[in-house]
Amino acid sequence: MKVAIFGLGYVGTVCGACLARYGHEVIGVDVNPLKVDMIAEGKSPIVEPDLDELLAEAHRQGRLSATTDPAEAVKAAAISLVCVGTPSRDNGSLNLEYIYQVCRQIGEALRDKSDYHVVVIRSTVLPGTVDRCAAIIEDASGKRQGEHFGIASNPEFLREGSAIKDFQNPPFTLVGSSDPRAIEVLRELYAPVGAEFIAVDTRVAEMLKYVNNSFHALKVAFANEIGQVCKTLGIDSHAVMELFVRDTKLNISPAYFRPGYAYGGSCLPKDLSALSYQAQQLDLQLPVLSNIQSSNRRHIEFGIKLVQRTGKKKIGLLGLSFKPGTDDLRESPLVELVETLLGKGYAIKIYDRNVNLARLIGANKAYIEKQIPHISQLFVNSLDAVINESECIVIGNKDPEFAQVFDRVRPDQVIVDLVRIDRNRRTGGNYEGICW
């Protein structure tokens, strides 16, 4: 396939070299004539292991050229990969000027082109940018997206120093588009890579790169804060973290990575508080660890506001314990939800088959009696009782019994789901998910 690559910086040059290696014909495009000349000669404008060899080989085989003329490249290619920079402004926002300028140039070139063309936004951009790019191309070309041209998000996951290996061995190839034809063109483009090909909604693809990089930054900051505590206590932090990463059930795993309601229970809040207090005693400032509880409280408030926005005053809560299969109510975020809504005048009914108030003992009993002294008056004995007496039904934990609610609610009732008990449900109609 013939591919035009706009932007011969780090991402564009690496992508061009790798695609040429897979047999595609690559046309590099850049405003900098020096970069264009270097690429046209099979030389790299950046330093990256193995890149010089790939470019030289592509040049020898006649699969690599470059130009400063966008129209020339678009007319010769079936695909345009946009790899230009998205620098930060002083206020932290993205400068998308270069992206939009390239899309306008592509659109102008498409005005005189009859063949279907796929525009791929490879640059890192926030959700909604690809839609804006499509509008710019439509305006400049006079043609319609999905009919005369397709557009897609195709985020890159390259790291400096290992970019060639990362391109050739990605965790998967991700394409976000609403155009089936564009998806199939890109499936063919990346077929030689051999990685799993995943097609998703455009905004999902745009968002993923930011999720990845934010989490990577969080991992570094978290590890360094643990390191500070360990150093001050005379502990080898590497010995601690080597054990930490060996747990692939909870620590290094998909566990806890499904957005839902806040954490609770007798362990996480207590242990985090203890570690944060220990850090204060050691005169350490640890912004990540010390703000986790604040973030959790904000998320509890987020859920409460979601219920309030329904406009319903009779609330039925399915599940009071912080997770199914337990009667532990200590630090349950659902207890705080109930307490807050009661204080605001809401009528509440609760059903949780695992919570038997008569059997609660010790700290568990003392906690719930302190937080909600009259809680026994709120409990009902069945799912039907909640449905019959509520205007808004809140799903608080993933007890399988609660999945029945979807088939039994009335059209005038609203469901607020804090746990996504049915992963196929999406917000719409009388259903509202807390994070989806």
| Helix ranges, 234-267 (H) | 237-244
3-class DSSP state of 120: strand
3-class DSSP state of 300: helix
Burial class (CB in 10 A: 0-12, 13-18, 19+), 377: exposed
Catalytic residue of the set 103, 230, 267, 435: 267
Q: What is the DSSP string of 82-105?
A: E----PBPTTS-B--HHHHHHHHH
How many CB atoms sit inside 10 A of residue 407's CB?
6
Q: Are 31 and 68 in contact (CB under 8 A)?
A: yes
Q: Model confidence over 217-261: pLDDT tens digits?
A: 999 999 999 999 999 999 999 999 999 999 999 999 999 999 999
18 annotated active-site: no
Cβ within 8 Å of residue 91, ≥6 positions away: none
Reference 2, options 196, 68, 12, 16; nearest CA is 16
Global pTM value: 0.91
* Cα gap 180→154, rounded to integer Å: 14
DSSP annotation of 81 = E
Q: Model confidence over 310-339: pLDDT tens digits?
A: 999 999 999 999 889 888 888 899 999 999
How many CB atoms sit inside 10 A of residue 60's CB?
10
Q: Are 321 and 397 in contact (CB under 8 A)?
A: yes
DSSP annotation of 26 = E
409: tokens are 């609610």
**pLDDT for residue 102:** 99
196: tokens are 């799993």
Structural domain boundaries of the chain? 2-200, 204-257, 297-433
**pLDDT for residue 16:** 98
Helices 97-110 and 129-141, axial angle in degrees (round to 10): 40
**pLDDT for residue 107:** 99
CATH code of the domain made up of 297-433:
3.40.50.720
Task: Answer positive or negative: Cα dihedral of 12, 17, 20, 21.
Answer: negative
Residues of the chain with pLDDT under 50: none
Give strand pairing partners of 131.
Answer: none
Which CATH fold would you assign to the domain 2-200? Rossmann fold (3.40.50)
159: tokens are 């790291």
Same fold: 2-200 with 297-433: yes
**pLDDT for residue 365:** 82
Output phi, psi for 91, to 5 deg. -90, 5
